[in-house]
Structure 1
Amino acid sequence: MTQSSRVFVFTDLDDSLFSSKRKHTKTADSQVASINKSGQIESYATLQQQKLVQMFTMLKASFIAVTGRRTSSYAHCIIDQVSNSEYAIVSHGALILDDNAALLPCWIKYLNNNYDMKHWQEKLTQTHCQLIDYFSAIKCEARVRLIVDHDICTYICIKIPTHNLQESLLTKINLYLQQLDFSIHGNEGNFAVLPPYASKELAVNYLVKKLNMSDKDVIFGIGDSLSDLPFMRNLDFAIFPKSSQIMKAISHV
């Protein structure tokens, strides 16, 4: 690697660098990766996930989180390489933060110049109410939240309770969501309803340009879900866990 070459790692967090207590089988090698605001453990990293971070750290890589978590949840991550990074992409790509977890002014200017933010803010609020009524009508106890981050409506989060995870119901819900004027990301019983500016690919491409990354640099992407593929496919290398949604999608190959 030449002296002028830099290494960047754009990485998803949940189910990529660590997993929740519910999904993680704790061992002697498990390392706490995130805690909640009460100081309770949320997530663990496996030995393999720890080694992956250590490998990139040895290369002096710059880590940039690319996560569906909003700013407050991103702050729960206690992996030094992630929490101390110069930039972070949060809320499914809707927002870019600086090293103080403040909004990057040039990104907000970019959004305002390229999107009718007032229109989409109102549309998200209306759709949130519409979805609450829909799940009530089909008698599904879904948790439907409008995610507001730094006073900006970024996306709608839907979580279907475990006892409602029948395939027929999920298919019905997915068909309904596809009719909305938004992009939809689904993974098991979790859905994200995304306006056009909530795009990990858009935010990653913006930072690639802002940081003047070139063919002299080496850029990695790490992710687990199909919604991560768009930002990963534009980078030099893509990494995904063996138990990921991506691996399941290509398991027939």
Structure 2
Amino acid sequence: MTTPFFQPNPNIIKPYALMDLDDTLFQTQRKIDAWELPTTEPKNLVCATVNKQDEPLSFMSQRQAMFFNWLLASTELIAVTARDRHEIQRVKLPFNSWQVLTHGAVILTPESELLSAWQQHMYNALAPLQNILNQLTDWIHNYSQKSDSTHNDLKLTPHTDTFVDRELTIYLAIKHTQKDHQALADLAEQLPIFIPNFEQHFYVHVNANNLAILPHGVHKRHAVQFLLEQHLDSQRPSFGFGDSLADLPFLQLLDWYGMPNHGQLHEQF
């Protein structure tokens, strides 16, 4: 049998595009300025997200908007994001396929329903850690109060959702109100020292002014792997983009992957 040469086929099969959102497809004005992104003159900006007061927060450059429009028309676009089910509502972009949310703890179907099998899986992973997460929350509050004024500006947000009719804490997010990245780095260094068996249960992800304390069972890679193995067509090609070191493990599951020319991954490599 002779291997045939390639022949163009008018029957286009859309690839899967698994895309991180924040700082990959859009970003705040502060980051637009810091990264000196092109085609971001006010007349070219497209609002992508709003804040809790329904005010514009993040924007697409003209190039990003064109890219997103191409993704919508040419691929099956799957959002893979740290945003939870409340935060994703503030993204004013159309998503019509699967959504991987909350660092991978939640998967929504194309009908925007919770994927029940994944819900049960995450319940089994998170339920045994609730007491430890509560203790960790108390320790961080005490740390910020007893430390110097720099650490008093730490803002802790537990991210929760309902799994099998029980509200569970998924992970802890910490920001610095004055955007002191060193204060977050200091906290990240202290956690394994002062929290017994911390690294047995959790890992830490730091990106700019965001520090996340996540159980090992919560990761974008785990959720994407579940989708690839259980729900997506293995014959269809897949590719993805992400800006963060935390995106790399899920991106490496795909046929092709890349990054924007700014952000944590770009700076690392």
Q: Distance in 2 between matches of 1:149 and 1:243?
A: 32
- Which has more radius of gyration? 2
Pairing 1:36–2:56 present: no
Paired amino acid for 1:155: Y
Post-superposition offset of 1:99: 3.8
Instruction: Quote the Cα distance in structure 1 between the aligned partners of 2:155 and 2:145.
Output: 11
| Paired residue type of 1:16 | T
Q: CA deviation at 1:108?
A: 1.1
TM-score by length of 1: 0.87
1:17 aligned to 2:21? no
Q: 1:66-90 deviations in whole A, cap 9, x for unaligned? A: 111111110111112x3xx232111
Quick one: percent identity of the two aligned structures?
A: 26
The structure with higher relative contact order (CA 8 Å, sep 6+) is 1
State the partner residue of 2:60: 45
TM-score, structure 2 normalization: 0.82
Is the CA contact 1:225–1:245 (under 8 Å) kept in the aligned structure 2? yes
Residue 171 of structure 2 is matched in structure 1 by 155
Residue 206 of structure 2 is matched in structure 1 by 186
Paired AA for residue 87 in structure 2? S
1:134 aligns to 2:143 (yes or no): yes
- Structure 2, unaligned runs of 5 or more: 1-7, 34-39
* 1:55 aligns to 2:70 (yes or no): yes
Q: Are residue 223 (structure 1) and residue 213 (structure 2) matched?
A: no
Partner of 2:128: 119
Contact 1:64 1:87 in 2 (8 A): yes
Alpha-carbon separation, structure 2, partners of 1:70 and 1:183: 19
**In 1, distance between residues paired with 2:67 and 2:192?**
36
Q: Return 226-235 or 154-163, whichever deviates more.
A: 154-163
CA distance, structure 1, for counterparts of residue 88 and residue 48 of structure 2: 11
What CA deviation, in whole Å up to 9, does each residue of 1:140-195 have, x standing for no partner? 11001111123331110010233634x4x444322113443311100123100001
Distance 2:111 2:231 in 1: 18
Displacement of 1:100: 4.8
How big is the shift at 1:13?
Answer: 0.9
CA–CA distance in structure 2, aligned partners of residues 243 and 13 of structure 1: 14
Query: What's the counterpart of residue 106 of structure 1?
Result: 117
Q: Distance in 1 between matches of 2:84 and 2:69?
A: 25
Partner of 2:221: 201
Does 2:99 correspond to 1:88? yes
The DSSP-based 3-state class of the residue aligned with 1:86 is coil
Over 3 Å counting, the alpha-carbon distance change for 1:170 and 1:196 in structure 2 is closer
2: CA distance, partners of 1:122 / 1:6:
45
Moved over 6 A (4+): none
What's the counterpart of residue 234 of structure 1?
Answer: 253
Does structure 2 retain, via aligned residues, the 8 Å contact 1:124–1:146?
no
| Aligned-partner residue type, residue 185 of structure 1 | H
- Contact 2:185 2:206 survives alignment (8 Å): no
> What is the rounded CA distance, in whole Å, between the counterparts of 2:18 and 2:217 in structure 1?
18
Q: Give the match's secondary structure for 1:241.
A: coil
For structure 1, which runs of at least 5 residues remain unmatched after alignment?
Answer: none
Distance 1:218 1:164 in 2: 41
Compared with structure 1, are the counterparts of its residues 163 and 220 closer, same or farther at alpha carbon in structure 2 (3 Å cutoff)? closer
SS in 2 for 1:227: coil
Deviations 1:53-111 (A, max 9, x none): 1222332x11111111111110111112x3xx232111111111234544211111223
Could you say if the C-alpha distance between residues 229 and 144 of structure 1 is closer, same or farther in structure 2, counting changes exceeding 3 Å?
A: same
RMSD: 2.1
Counterpart Cα distance in 2 of 1:127 and 1:160? 18
How many Å apart are 1:4 and its aligned residue? 7.6
Aligned residue pairs, count: 241
CA separation in 1, counterparts of 2:73 and 2:110? 21
